[in-house]
Amino acid sequence: MAGSSLGLFLLFSLFLGQCVVELEASHRVFQNLQTSEPTSESQPYRTGFHFQPPKNWMNDPNGPMVYKGIYHLFYQYNPKGAVWGNIVWAHSTSTDLINWIPHDAAIYPSQKSDIKGCWSGSTTMLPGGKPAILYTGIDPNDKQVQNLAVPKNLSDPYLTEWVKSPKNPLMAPTAINQINASSFRDPTTAWLGPDRIWRVIIGSKINYKGLAILYRSKNFVNWTASKQPLHSAEHTGMWECPDFYPVATEGVYGVDTSTKGSSIKHVLKVSLDDTKHEYYTIGTYDTATEKYVPDEGQVDSDSGLRYDYGKFYASKTFFDSVTLRRILWGWINESSSVEHDIKKGWSGVQAIPRKIWLDKSVKQLVQWPIAEIEKLRVNQVKFPSKFLKAGSIAEVKGVTASQADIEVSFKIAEFEKAEVLEPGWTNPQLLCSQKSASVKGALGPFGLLVLSSKSLEEYTAVYFRIFKDHEKYVVLMCSDQSRSSLDADNDKTTYGAFVNVDPLHEELSLRSLIDHSIVESFGGKGKACITARVYPTLAIDDDAHLYAFNYGTEKINITSLSAWSLKKAQIN
């Protein structure tokens, strides 16, 4: 315990002002936390530009932030193996959100309040731009409790050392508040109310009702639970990794988490432990009643809006005060077996950071890969405008098809033969499964065949279909993994989403980031996103191919197509 030193005493005084307490040092060097190269020699599925550690297990992104011009990403990490366990907060920094350098673990078990694990949490910028981390610890009785850590040295832009409050835990489940000790985790970024009191929410549940439990504090140390949750929803189960933040109703810029006003809406995102899906709603936060109410038409359940309709979970946003963006991180887990993960020596990657803003309709969010990814682009290939005849494919040559960025736009001239959308076709994932890339329709499937073998024994199809629904047309976006690998042990789930675009009056755009075992796709200029994990056995490295295709009965016009090889980023 180093809390008796005058330096740490003054440090906490500097951070929190009203509550001067001692701190326990959190930083020591352990040899078993040092990273090394993966144990398996052949690594065809490691990524070229998606964030991942050199080896072992990684899951939730934690506490992303920017401090003194340096971006920080913390993440759940097992320093001892490729499966979940022994969880610490690993730490990497970057100047561009693409290239990363590793540091020693920032937070690891060292107190009674976190001795069985340091689970997910968030960073809050206190007055003066001072970062503070709230995170979930697991105590000796397996209770989930909330803890505080702050940097030891604010002059260090890399924030390599963190210290914990001896007041930990600051928030704990009790019989009085009826919180289940195993369902009380993942504090959000805190925000200041008009009364200058901090608020934070913790994910929880009572029976099968999901809860966002609200806590308040004047000094960021002494927290009191509100009598009612900020929001709840029946039949949703445990709410993991909640995220609550404001969005501007006009423009594409992000706003600080404490921003409020008439031109602001709020977003509540929750990760559902039962289904491993996320959903979000857009609504109004009433600071007087301390309640969040989703807007009319927002679906407060697993069938509602998602950031991503594929492999994407435990996501976290932060406000980038340098570029005035709200940036979204998300964990992409594996689709391979645990035995395969252990053999290759690692598991889990992070999605490309996405800029996120409110659509003009004010009914959904829009996402787009951060602009910095474009610095990796080389060797652009462009298609002239061309028609894809029924049942045809066209290879996109000249790019490294296993590590690429492709943008394509389609236009439909004739809609008369569009298939009628049946009343029961309301589940897009099920519809994509029933109407896979091999099932021919009139207007679709058309799109991209990525990570494809030359003779099409393997491919992942990302495509559109257009249906007629009374007096309008409905666009379905699919990511079909059913033929992605000849290895039968992999999860080959097909994903789907409806895209809120009008194909009569606007082109259909598709962008896919291809990275060896990841296909991250953005439809309708970011209105629908689907991420897939695939493990081809033939379409590896230089043997991967990329095609535009149209398996529908009607011709489709490619109005533009640009593809780039992507250089390898420097990651950890």
Q: Residue 293 and residue 284: Cα distance in Å, rounded?
A: 5
Active site residues: 60
- For residues 352 and 327, the answer to whether their CB atoms sit within 8 Å is no
Closest by CA to 463, choosing from 413, 382, 523, is 523
Local structure of 229: helix, strand or coil: coil
- For residues 248 and 262, the answer to whether their CB atoms sit within 8 Å is no
Q: Is 379 left (phi over 0), alpha (psi -120 to 50) or beta?
A: left
Spatial strand order of the sheet with 277-286 comes to 239-248, 264-272, 277-286, 291-294
Q: Residue 565 and residue 376: Cα distance in Å, rounded?
A: 8
- As a residue count, the chain comes to 572
The helix or strand, by DSSP H or E, that contains position 6, with its residue range, turns out to be helix 6-16
CA-to-CA dists, residue 550 to 85, 390, 458, 555, angstroms: 45, 6, 17, 8
* Residue reference for tokens 């934070």: 200
Q: Residue 142 and residue 139: Cα distance in Å, rounded?
A: 5
Please give the pLDDT value at position 41.
Answer: 63
Local structure of 563: helix, strand or coil: strand
**Sign of the alpha-carbon torsion through 20, 24, 29, 33:** negative
Neighbours of 130 (CB within 10 A): 15
Pairing between β-strand 460-469 and β-strand 419-420 as defined by DSSP bridges: parallel
The predicted model scores a pTM of 0.93
Rounded to 5°, the CA angle 394-457-483 comes to 95
CA-to-CA dists, residue 402 to 18, 327, 408, 453, 518, angstroms: 55, 26, 17, 11, 9
Q: Where are the beta strands (DSSP E) in 307-445?
A: 313-320, 325-332, 346-347, 349-350, 354-358, 365-369, 377-383, 386-388, 392-395, 403-411, 419-420
Q: Residue 354 and residue 328: Cα distance in Å, rounded?
A: 5
Please give the pLDDT value at position 178.
Answer: 76
Phi, psi of 39 (to 5 degrees): -80, -25
- For residues 82 and 57, the answer to whether their CB atoms sit within 8 Å is yes
Joined tokens for residue 558: 């490619």
Please give the pLDDT value at position 33.
Answer: 39
Q: Residue 228 and residue 251: Cα distance in Å, rounded?
A: 33
Structural domains of the chain ordered from first start:
6-39+55-369 (2.115.10.20), 378-566 (2.60.120.560)
The helix or strand, by DSSP H or E, that contains position 431, with its residue range, turns out to be helix 428-434
For 187, half-sphere exposure in the C-beta direction (CA atoms, 13 angstrom radius) is: 32
* Residue reference for tokens 């298939």: 419
End-to-end CA distance of the chain: 31
Q: Residue 475 and residue 502: Cα distance in Å, rounded?
A: 8
Please give the pLDDT value at position 30.
Answer: 33
Write out pLDDT tens, residues 203-221: 999 999 999 999 999 999 9
> Which residues lie closer than 8 Å to 510 by C-beta, 6 or more apart?
407, 408, 409, 410, 447, 448, 462, 464, 477, 521, 522, 523
Please list the rounded mean pLDDT of every run of 10 residues in the chain (572 residues): 41 52 36 42 91 97 98 98 96 98 98 98 96 98 97 97 97 80 97 97 96 97 95 97 98 96 97 97 96 97 96 98 97 95 96 98 98 98 93 96 98 93 96 96 97 97 96 96 92 96 96 98 98 97 97 96 98 92
Q: Residue 477 and residue 133: Cα distance in Å, rounded?
A: 38
Please give the pLDDT value at position 345.
Answer: 96
Local structure of 53: helix, strand or coil: coil
Phi, psi of 301 (to 5 degrees): -165, 180
Q: Residue 470 and residue 388: Cα distance in Å, rounded?
A: 27
Neighbours of 54 (CB within 10 A): 14
Identify any residues that bridge with 214 across adjacent strands, giving them in sequence order.
201
Q: Over 97-161, what HEC string results? A: CCCEEEEEEEECCCCHHHCCCEEEEEEEEECCCEEEEEEEEECCCCCEEEEEEEECCCCCCCCCC
- For residues 92 and 106, the answer to whether their CB atoms sit within 8 Å is no
**Cα-atom radius of gyration of the chain, to the nearest Å?**
24
Write out pLDDT tens, residues 284-333: 999 999 999 999 999 999 999 999 999 999 999 999 999 999 999 999 99
Q: Where are the beta strands (DSSP E) in 143-300?
A: 144-151, 162-164, 184-185, 191-192, 198-206, 209-217, 224-225, 231-233, 239-248, 264-272, 277-286, 291-294
* Residue reference for tokens 């996109």: 396
Phi, psi of 317 (to 5 degrees): -105, 160
Phi, psi of 445 (to 5 degrees): -75, 140
